[in-house]
Amino acid sequence: MDAGDDAGIAPYGTEALHILRAEKGYIVVGDETDGTTTPDDVGLGGMVSKKKADFIGKRSLEQSELKREGRKQLVGLLTEEPSEVLPDGAHAVAAVHDKPPMKTIGHVTSSYLSPTIGRSIAMALIENGRARIGESISFPLEGCKVVKAQIVDHVFYDKDGGRIHA
């Protein structure tokens, strides 16, 4: 700590790392992914080889269900109220009704109050998510509370990667 004092180095914890990775749109396997997600669903389809004749998992990725239109895709969320942090796992619904059932269209995978962005940010898997960027969706919570959020790109900070290469 003493050696880094002149450079402004300070200790940090794992929660800070989680916020930093979410600001950059980096996924955590098990949070932004589960047994139903594909690389394309989380914006990593370009990492799958288009040149190799065969590779582990290729046959699975060619299944019709994994190519179907309207699959859940990773997106970012900005709540209408910047200080409102959506709970992890909160369900987005197609329409809010007085009581269940309500059609679920996705869920929050990660959610934080970002000091860098100056507001809450969240990532979510939403049906046909990338085509819905700009839309407002609703999250009914406990106590009849409904939080609205705008669908945005899942990279909140340094989209072009300039800070990484600084």
How many Å apart are CA 2 and CA 106, to the nearest integer? 47
Percent of the chain, pLDDT > 90? Answer: 69
C-alpha 115, offset from chain centre: 18
Residue 89's pLDDT is 97
Helix (H) or strand (E) holding 41: none
pLDDT in tens, 60-72: 888 888 888 899 9
Q: Is the pLDDT of residue 80 over 80?
A: yes
Superfamily of domain 5-152: Probable tRNA modification gtpase trme; domain 1 (3.30.1360.120)
For residue 122, CA distances in Å to 92, 113, 129 come to 12, 9, 13
Residue 35's pLDDT is 86
Domain locations along the chain: 5-152
pLDDT in tens, 116-155: 999 999 999 999 999 999 999 999 999 889 999 999 999 9
Contact 119, 83 (CB under 8 A): yes
Percent of the chain, pLDDT > 70? Answer: 99
Expressed in percent and rounded to 5, the helix, strand and coil fractions of the chain are 20, 25, 55
